Amino acid sequence: MAKMKGTIVVNTERCKGCSLCVVACPLDIIALADKRVNRRGYRYVEQTNPEACTGCTSCAIVCPDGCITVYRKRVES
Amino acid sequence: MENIVSPENLVYQKPTLLNDTDMHYCPGCSHGVVHKLIAEVIEEMGMEEKAIGVSPVGCAVFAYKYIDIDWQEAAHGRAPAIATAIKRLWPDRLVFTYQGDGDLACIGTAETIHALNRGENIAIIFINNAIYGMTGGQMAPTTLMGMKTATCPYGRQADLHGYPLKITELAAQLEGTCYVTRQSVHSVAAIRKAKRAIRQAFENSVNRRGSSLVEIVSTCSSGWKKTPVEANAWMEEHMFDFYHVGDLKTVES
């Protein structure tokens, strides 16, 4: 069966760690980075389980700063 | 995983009209989402060279730094008057103003009402977060009853402060308006609807159908003293009871 595989690329320098994407992700696979900050002092977000991402774009749509780029590909399993 | 990250698999990226300048907005601010929607809509309409925005005084005062179209800065509250002039001199342009509630619903109420009543062919994007965000969270005309701000620390009271102003309902009564709607940007579904509303308003400006007002019920996490996630939840719980989301007026032409 074909399955959608996705991934996100976060512009960590632009991210302000507002966490709106964290709550918008239906699979709960985005989280604030642990004890790491960008040059402006914000904790940025990262994917915690890249294998599970379906590339639904929810995180990118709610991001106020446009930090998230989403890629999606159909894979046959 | 690396083989997914390639241009043919790209499904979402920051609109190119929204440039790489770091936005000064607080983390989680609704302004960022609306800026993104405006940039997306202008790109989709192919109006990059023909769009003119009028930025206000308030948090969005620097809007011209972030979206790469032509902008004009207006005096406090006077954006609809400036937009009127621009649209009358350049009738083929997409002319819109981008204003907050302190700008549009307080000092600029006269300009707003009269521009809408004259039916100027402009679109007004109205960000309503029920507070003065930039100046430090003071009470605005749109502040909800009982809502605490820096200048009404015990909550807004009718006998002392009067009642919140529903400017969008007022605008819907005016003959000059062709499209009046209230939207929000707190969820994926709401953002998609807000984008369609902005597109409709911009098309009305280009096609000279009359004035459009798109109110976006927004959050001000710093002014409300909440995290962005809490602010969205607070808005859903309290703001939507008073500021009902939906189309108030659509004139078919």
Number of domains in chain A: 1
Minimal-distance CA residue of chain B relative to A44: B27
- In this predicted structure, what is the pLDDT of residue A76? 82
Residue A2: per-residue pLDDT: 84
B69-115 confidence digits (pLDDT tens): 999 999 999 999 999 999 999 999 999 999 999 999 999 999 999 99
Mean of pLDDT values over B138-156:
96
What would the two tokens of residue B177 be?
């308006």
Using the predicted structure, report yes or no on whether residue B203 has a pLDDT greater than 90: yes
**Is B191 an interface residue toward A (CB < 8 Å)?**
yes
DSSP state string for A5-65? EEEEEE-TTT-----HHHHH-TT--EEEEEEEE-TTSPEEEEES-GGG-----HHHHH-TT
Write down all domains in chain B, each with its CATH number in brackets.
25-250 (3.40.50.970)
Amino acid identity of A23? V
pLDDT at B195 > cutoff 80: yes
pLDDT above 80: residue A43: yes
Among residues A71, A22, A69, the alpha carbon closest in space to that of A43 is found at A22
Confidence at residue B3, expressed as pLDDT on a 0 to 100 scale: 83
Q: What is the CATH number for A18?
A: 3.30.70.20
Which residues of chain B have a CB within 8 Å of the CB of A6?
Answer: 4, 11
Please give, rounded to a whole number of angstroms, the shortest distance from the CA of B210 to a CA of chain A. 30
CB contact B187 to A (< 8 Å): yes
Enclosing domain of residue A42: 2-76
Smallest CA-to-CA distance from B249 within B171, B176, B195, B180 is with B180
For a pLDDT cut of 70, what percent of chain B falls above it?
Answer: 99
Average pLDDT rounded to a whole number, residues B38-49? 97
* The pLDDT of residue B132 is above 90: yes
In 10 A of CB B189, how many CB atoms?
10
| Contact status of B5 with chain A (Cβ, < 8 Å) | yes
Nearest to B9 among A20, A50, A72 (CB): A72
The amino acid present at B227, given as its one-letter code, is T
Contact, B137 vs B146, CB < 8 A?
no
Token readout for B105 is: 């619903």
| Facing residue for A18 by CB, picked from B5, B9, B228 | B228
